[in-house]
Chain A
Amino acid sequence: MHVPAVALRIALLRVVLLRVAVRLAKAVITLVGVAVVVFIVLRLLPGNQITSSLGVNAGLLTKAQYADLEHFYGIGKPLPVQFGQWAGAMLRGNMGVSEQSGRSVTSLIGAALPVTLELAIAAMAIGLVIGVGAGAVAAASAGGLADRGARLIALAGLGVPSFVIGSGLVAFLASVFHYFPSSEGFASLFSDPWLNIQQIFWPALTLGLGIGAAILRTTRGAMLDVARQGYVRAARGRGLGPRLVIVKHVLRNALIPILTMSGIQFGYLLGGTVVVEQIFVLPGLGRLLLMSVTESDYAVAQGVTLVFALGFIAVNLITDLLYAVVDPRLRS
């Protein structure tokens, strides 16, 4: 009796581990694919490191000088060789050097990543609190006043782009509180937590409102779907109070669509950081990307795009694995 149960457990564990391994392998393949595409696209674009650093003066170079510079930037060789060198260097943590600032890409990203990470986590937290909270209230009072209000606000949140919310907030803060985002340098969470929270809150709210609107709609829809199920009626029939039923049975089972939507919203969040970091002058990855892209600083643009892709792929992976935790049916 006891032994087969253990054997079953081990077999189950093996299946789960295999699925995790397959999913991990897929994520790695996607990342390599993205790296190849990013590499090729940036090479196909008109101009290269030489023309971007010298501008029109690049035309004055002699053939020998040009070849020297090609060798210096490692761009004279055939594309596959270049990719091999680049990928090898990447794996050793060497992402190249910024042509504009002369600093290593790794150090630039290292400085910008914590800002974006903090912003993304704060925005996601705000979005989840607003979305799940208001969504649950709306579903509980479906058709009522709270429901209609929540749906109207959600609609506005979906229709108003983050750059409009951000611009409105900046204008509002400037005219009412005479607060300008650029007035002080950025303070990290560890050097000056209070100032840091002030600086992160408004951009996080800007992004969080959009996310919250989408999660609200999903939460409401999923909860109403679940509420029609037989086991919910059964729980009510057993005499459980409405609040307990909503939290323990309805919300818990509505978590899967909410999880999916949160994963999707994370991609939107990463794109949104570019806009919001620009508006609120935050020295994060989004701003770094925008600057590198407008200055054709290839090495930096490549590195930041890959970090964004890595983050996005990782979140998709985590979302997939979380399904197994939330939904016992997927574990079998």
Chain B
Amino acid sequence: MAGSVTASPPSPPSPTSPLEVAAGTAAGRRGLAWRLWRQPSGRTGLIILAVMVLAGLASLAGLAPDAPDAQNPSATLRGPSAAHLFGTDQFGRDILSRVMAGTVLSLQTALLAVAICAVVGTLGGVAAGYFGGAVSWAVTSVADLIFAVPSVLLALAIVSGLGPGWQNTAIAVGISYTPIFIRVVRGPVLAIRQAEYVKAARVLGFSRSRILFRHVLPGVGGILAVQVTLALGWAVLIEASLDFLGLGPPPPAATLGLMVSEGTNIAGIAWWNLAFPAVAVVLLVLGFTLTGDGLRDALDPASSAS
């Protein structure tokens, strides 16, 4: 233990929880992927996500059966068949192609949203936890204020102000989820701040940014990984809900939420208009939720026992 204090890039010594072990070392990470795969929920989640991401990539590569907005007046409201696996909508558009395009939109919105809240929330949480005092007060007050408005309502208000567009949806969802990252990160940082290896780094005169990024941040890596995965599922859910309410990209766009909303009205005569986009949303949300649950259990074996 004493030797690691003098070594300049200290691998986190005196690990206090399995979480830090798993997040800190390369061996831990390899073991983590394996443990995630061995969890039934983690494995199911990963498989679902792989299918959805592949479908999205295929759409981006132009491998979808048809263009998402290509209308065909002679083949409207056809049921699922060999020509149209998921059937067609009232304009004769191929639903499989639209679901694939919608999956891309959902994923890119969720990724941008979570990038925003993870970066802002982590920086805020680390700053609040590490510096304490006025910084902590300012950050947690802002987080509490955002938290005082239910997140769906907040996202709704922001997106209606910014106007339609997937980037704006992402910004709205990102802002409304930021306080959760602040809260999740701040607690562990408070503890890590007092850890021997951080004290040692301070004594050795390392710069503040070096301590924060090389010593403190890796300690919350595991928690962040879980939170990012869960946030992605939540972002897909809110994004689809906003699209469903008509606050996302306007109609020609193939968003899953809009497809569910349009499909509901004609579900009685053409169920596939509602069913396939709905299943796609559910799979995306479940995929992220299951993976996040699995990741949490893999990082902290004690929690999986319950």
Chain A residues in the interface with B (C-beta under 8 A): 30-31, 33-34, 37-38, 41-42, 45-46, 155-156, 158-164, 167-168, 170-171, 174-175, 221, 224-225, 267-268, 270-272, 274-275, 278-279, 289-290, 293-294, 296, 301, 305, 308-309, 312-313
Q: Which residues of B lie under 8 Å from residue A308 when comparing CB positions?
A: 149-150, 153
Given contacts A294-B247, A308-B153, 5 further A-B contacts (CB under 8 A): A167-B263, A168-B278, A170-B267, A275-B244, A309-B148
- Distance to closest chain B CB from A222 (angstroms): 9
A161 contacts B157, C-beta separation under 8 Å: no
If A271-B153, A301-B157, A305-B157 touch, whether A159 touches B282 (CB-CB below 8 Å) is yes
Contact of B264 among A171, A272, A296 (CB under 8 A): A171
A274 contacts B306, C-beta separation under 8 Å: no
A293 contacts B157, C-beta separation under 8 Å: yes
**CA–CA, A298 to B116, complex, Å?**
27
B260 contacts A164, C-beta separation under 8 Å: yes
- Residue of A163, A268, A275 with most partner-chain B CB within 10 A: A163
B150 contacts A290, C-beta separation under 8 Å: no
- Residue of A174, A272, A279, A293 with most partner-chain B CB within 10 A: A293
If A225-B306, A267-B151, A270-B153 touch, whether A163 touches B244 (CB-CB below 8 Å) is yes
Say yes or no: is B196 at the interface (Cβ < 8 Å to chain A).
Answer: no
- Distance to closest chain A CB from B66 (angstroms): 25
B260 contacts A312, C-beta separation under 8 Å: no
**CA–CA, A314 to B149, complex, Å?**
12
Give the dominant DSSP class at A's interface. helix
Chain B residues in the interface with A (C-beta under 8 A): 141, 144-145, 148-153, 156-158, 160-161, 233, 237, 240-241, 244-247, 257, 260-261, 263-264, 267-268, 271, 274, 278, 281-282, 285-286, 289-290, 306
A305 contacts B260, C-beta separation under 8 Å: no
**CA–CA, A313 to B148, complex, Å?**
6
B150 contacts A268, C-beta separation under 8 Å: yes
Contact of B245 among A33, A34, A156, A275 (CB under 8 A): A275
A164 contacts B306, C-beta separation under 8 Å: no
**CA–CA, A305 to B153, complex, Å?**
8
- Distance to closest chain A CB from B265 (angstroms): 9
Q: Which residues of B lie under 8 Å from residue A164 when comparing CB positions?
A: 260, 278, 281-282
Contact of B268 among A171, A221, A279 (CB under 8 A): A171
Q: Which residues of B lie under 8 Å from residue A167 when comparing CB positions?
A: 260-261, 263-264, 267, 274, 278
**CA–CA, A306 to B145, complex, Å?**
12
7 nearest CB pairs, A to B: A271-B152, A171-B267, A159-B286, A45-B161, A167-B264, A293-B160, A267-B150
Question: What residue of chain A has the Cβ atom nearest to residue B283's Cβ?
Answer: A159
Contact of B237 among A41, A46, A161, A221 (CB under 8 A): A161
**CA–CA, A235 to B126, complex, Å?**
45
**CA–CA, A202 to B294, complex, Å?**
33
Question: What residue of chain B has the Cβ atom nearest to residue A295's Cβ?
Answer: B160
Question: What residue of chain B has the Cβ atom nearest to residue A26's Cβ?
Answer: B144
Q: Which residues of B lie under 8 Å from residue A267 when comparing CB positions?
A: 150-151
- Distance to closest chain A CB from B39 (angstroms): 13
If A167-B274, A275-B241 touch, whether A268 touches B152 (CB-CB below 8 Å) is yes
Q: List 30 A-B contacts (CB under 8 A).
A: A30-B148, A33-B141, A33-B145, A34-B148, A34-B149, A37-B145, A41-B158, A41-B161, A155-B289, A159-B286, A160-B282, A161-B282, A161-B285, A162-B241, A167-B263, A170-B264, A170-B267, A171-B271, A174-B267, A225-B306, A271-B151, A271-B153, A290-B156, A293-B156, A293-B157, A294-B247, A305-B149, A305-B153, A312-B149, A312-B150
Q: Which residues of A lie under 8 Å from residue B161 when comparing CB positions?
A: 41-42, 45-46
If A167-B274, A224-B306 touch, whether A159 touches B285 (CB-CB below 8 Å) is yes
Q: Which residues of B lie under 8 Å from residue A290 when comparing CB positions?
A: 156, 245
Q: Which residues of B lie under 8 Å from residue A155 when comparing CB positions?
A: 286, 289-290
Q: Which residues of B lie under 8 Å from residue A159 when comparing CB positions?
A: 233, 282, 285-286, 289-290
**CA–CA, A305 to B146, complex, Å?**
12
- Distance to closest chain A CB from B81 (angstroms): 21
**CA–CA, A57 to B120, complex, Å?**
40
- Distance to closest chain B CB from A46 (angstroms): 8
**CA–CA, A294 to B153, complex, Å?**
13
Q: Which residues of A lie under 8 Å from residue B240 when comparing CB positions?
A: 161, 163
A30 contacts B260, C-beta separation under 8 Å: no
Q: Which residues of A lie under 8 Å from residue B148 when comparing CB positions?
A: 30-31, 33-34, 309, 312-313
**CA–CA, A156 to B279, complex, Å?**
12
